[in-house]
Chain A
Amino acid sequence: GENVEQHPSTLSVQEGDSAVIKCTYSDSASNYFPWYKQELGKRPQLIIDIRSNVGEKKDQRIAVTLNKTAKHFSLHITETQPEDSAVYFCAASPGGSYIPTFGRGTSLIVHP
């Protein structure tokens, strides 16, 4: 089955800095890669996703990149704000089912 590794487990940045979270996956059949944000005590929320036929996708201050050959993908957050503080999960899934295998999460702390 699919195995998703996520690093780092904790990331502490100053407000305004950039943050990068990296994930690797094992199953070459995976072709859909969503990222979820989970605030403390809340539900996971889909914030951005990327498909294997695309190398990069941006949405305002967040961007995702995908290197299918190397089987890794990353989340980039620019100009971080305190409200970006949360746990971020990457996931990989085969396009047919869209059933995600999640990474273990990265706790992002943005200091004002």
Chain B
Amino acid sequence: DSGVTQTPKHLITATGQRVTLRCSPRSGDLSVYWYQQSLDQGLQFLIQYYNGEERAKGNILERFSAQQFPDLHSELNLSSLELGDSALYFCASSVANRPYEQYFGPGTRLTVT
């Protein structure tokens, strides 16, 4: 157990819908990273937040957005869902002075039907 929690574990929804994935980092970790893992694209970095502020952006679609709240938990919002958005979504966290040590959560498996 990495100490990073994600909810829900599984999510099944229809095309066109909107979902919110939630991540709680390890206690004390200020950075949260979101990743998408799919058979087509592999494991891809989406976005990073540090202490409430967006720090880096990767291959994140405009239909996707994220935020980090004052209690440091983060949410990833996916809207206008398409079949191709079906994937595992991981969040990871790291402590400020060791950003290279990223601890992944268990992931949320999203299925869009």
Residues of chain A touching chain B, judged by Cβ–Cβ distance below 8 Å, are 32, 34, 42-46, 49, 89, 93, 97-105
Nearest-neighbour CB distance to chain A for B89, whole angstroms, equals 12
Q: How far is the CB of A106 from chain B (nearest CB, A)?
A: 12
Bound complex: CA of A42 vs CA of B90, how far in Å? 10
* B interface SS class: strand
**A43-B2, A43-B90, A43-B104 known; 10 other A-B pairs, CB under 8 Å?**
A34-B100, A46-B103, A97-B48, A98-B94, A99-B33, A99-B45, A99-B56, A99-B58, A104-B42, A105-B43
Which B residues are closer than 8 A to A by beta carbons? 2, 33, 42-45, 48, 55-56, 58, 90, 94, 99-107
- Closest approach, in angstroms, between the C-beta of A2 and any C-beta of chain B? 10
Lowest 4 CB-CB distances: which A-B pairs, in order? A43-B104, A102-B43, A98-B99, A98-B100
Closest to A93 in B: B100
Residues B48 and A43 in contact, CB atoms below 8 Å apart? no
How many angstroms between the C-alpha atoms of A49 and B102 in the bound complex? 12
Could you tell me the distance between the alpha carbons of A105 and B40 in the complex, rounded to whole angstroms?
12
Query: Measured between C-beta atoms, what is the minimum distance from B42 to chain A in Å?
Result: 5
Q: CB-CB < 8 A to B103: which residues of A?
A: 46
Residues of A within 8 A of B33 (CB): 99
In the complex, what residues of B have CB within 8 A of residue A44's CB? 43, 90, 104
Closest B residue to A32 by beta carbon equals: B100
Measured in the bound complex, the distance between the Cα atoms of B55 and A44 in whole Å is 22
Chain B residues within an 8 Å CB radius of A103: 42
Q: Which of B56, B58, B99 has the most CB of A within 10 A?
A: B99
